[in-house]
Chain A
Amino acid sequence: MKQVDIVVIGARPAGLAAAIEARKNGVKDILVIERDRELGGILMQCIHNGFGLHVFKEELTGPEYAERFIDELSDMGIEYKLDTMVTDITPEKVVKAMNTEDGLMNIQAKAVILTMGCRERTRGAIAIPGTRPAGVMSAGTAQRYINMEGYMVGKRVVILGSGDIGLIMARRMTLEGAKVLAVAELMPFSGGLTRNIVQCLDDFDIPLLLSHTVQEIRGKDRLEGVTISQVDENYKPIPGTEQTYECDTLLLSVGLIPENELSASAGIEIDPTTSGPIVNEAMETSVPGIFASGNVVHVHDLVDFVTAESRRAGENAAKYVLGQLKEDGPVQSTEAGAGVNYIVPHVIRTSNIEKDVTLFMRVGNVFHNAELVVKADDKIIMTKKRRHMAPGEMESLKLPVNKLPQTDAVITVEVAEEVVQDEKAS
């Protein structure tokens, strides 16, 4: 059986950053496995600008951001395989993979880093009634057709979901000559960044219909139209509010799901809220030696945070291989309190923290002038003011090591102070 120190699964932003960092921390024998035809993943079709403000201090497009990591990986001589599918990982860290050149491979790894990313939710996942014509697809699928393959997907477009991919595609379709009739959003606020609402919708007078959903899809072979209704506070369509739109394309931007089939086969424990692995401060999952980072753990909105998290996973996977990760000392578990949906990491082993540990979380509502309160077993250890928080923007909190209790404890983060539900998108 082929023996490798670290196998990285997925060579998109997370996998590239993790592999590079593992090499920088002293592990030479690394294999990166990617199922696509080239390195870089989704960034290669995200041709819009706005990437890299934290990591590179400049505003890059997706392909430019990816190319910097691809070049670094190549310069380091890290081995990678393209067009290669991993079909199974065992808890003993045997990775089964296949491609048309090598056939079926069994690879024994000392450590594995899971960076499979996430998938878009589909029409099936949200169960829109109606017929099943061509012209209904995820926003990411349309993005790949237009930006990489050179196929225009439609002329009259409705978009369901106002996450950033939906907003970006509203502009992209418009620039390429399509008429985007409306963006419908189930929630009373958009999940996308405000700057994208301004740059992608307002600039082109595309209406954003908050608290609206697509209630019916019509058309035999090709999509002919959709019905959009307003929804009540329980997200149920309100009778009498139906509006029909004649369109040939419906793009869905209705959320992302971490892709964890392989994690399940390795017996890794999954957090039902994030749909990703439960991880500790080292980004190690419940199976020792299997690490995870990026969108496979929890869906990020900024690639720079994926990079930072993956660098930590890469560094710690290297430490694991070199026997430098500590197992002893106090263990804290984290728990989301009022107003917070989830916290990553789930477990903190204080002995592995040199200076500080960063907690990443998402809040459950729009908050203005609120406070994040951190407690260890009901004792407040830190508070941080936030002028603005929204579910669409990931929050982070840096906890210095001297604030962490010296015994096992439960660390909770909750939101204090008034809630202001935005009446308009923000």
Chain B
Amino acid sequence: MKKHHELVCIVCPMGCRLTLEKDDNAPKGYIIEGNVCKRGEDYAIKEMTNPTRMLPTTVKIKDGFISRLPVRTTEAIPKELIFKAMEEINAVEVKAPVKCGDVVIANILDTGADIIATRSMKQR
């Protein structure tokens, strides 16, 4: 039996309901239906082969104006690494002052993405 997948496209607010079927004879390896534009097809294939997500979270900060510093990945990282990345990020404690954009963790889990501060924080 052919493997059948259903996805909701998140590229634009239309929210097309996509169906994918693995087909090695198709040019891109899948037969995709339900999308009204090309971007839906690209999204579907990325979502099936290497889904990635941005990761926004916080780290502990010492002597800060408040006790958590918001951070994010500089680019989307593979979805399956999200919880592993959270472990790394939660193990870190930075010290105030911090400038927005400062690198908190470089090249997290060898993804090529850095974890950067998303606000400046004065010392308490």
Contact = CB atoms under 8 A, between A and B. Distances in A.
B90 to A, nearest CB: 8
B92 interface: no
B85 to A, nearest CB: 10
Contact of B86 (A38, A175, A193, A424): A175
Given A63-B118, A67-B100, A195-B10, A49 B54 contact: yes
Contacts of A66: 119
Contact of A387 (B14, B17, B79): B14
Contact of A197 (B8, B79, B83): B8
A224 interface: no
A21 to B, nearest CB: 23
A47 B13 contact: no
Contacts of A197: 8
B120 interface: yes
Contact of B68 (A150, A175, A195, A198): A150
A131 interface: no
Contacts of A202: 8
B53 interface: yes
B72 A147 contact: no
Contact of B13 (A63, A149, A176, A388): A388
Given A64-B100, A64-B119, A150-B60, A388 B66 contact: no
Contacts of B58: 47, 146-147, 150
Contact of A48 (B10, B56, B67): B56
Classify chain B: how many residues form its interface, as a range. Answer: 20 to 34
Contacts of B13: 193-194, 388, 390, 393
Contacts, number: 77
Interface in A65-83: 66-67
B82 interface: yes
Contact of A61 (B8, B10, B14, B70): B70
Interface string A386-398: 0110100100000
A198 B17 CA distance: 12
Contacts of A387: 14
A53 to B, nearest CB: 12
B19 interface: no
Contacts of A199: 10, 53
A175 B83 CA distance: 7
B15 interface: yes
A426 interface: yes
A59 B56 CA distance: 12
Interface string B31-65: 00000000000000000000001111110100001
Given A150-B67, A388-B14, A426-B8, A67 B120 contact: yes
Given A48-B56, A49-B72, A150-B68, A198 B10 contact: yes
Closest 6 CB pairs of A and B: A63-B119, A47-B70, A195-B10, A426-B15, A194-B15, A150-B67
29 contacts: A38-B65, A47-B58, A47-B72, A48-B56, A49-B56, A60-B118, A61-B56, A61-B70, A63-B100, A63-B119, A66-B119, A146-B58, A146-B68, A147-B68, A148-B66, A148-B68, A149-B68, A150-B66, A175-B55, A175-B57, A175-B83, A176-B57, A176-B86, A194-B13, A203-B53, A203-B79, A387-B14, A390-B13, A393-B13
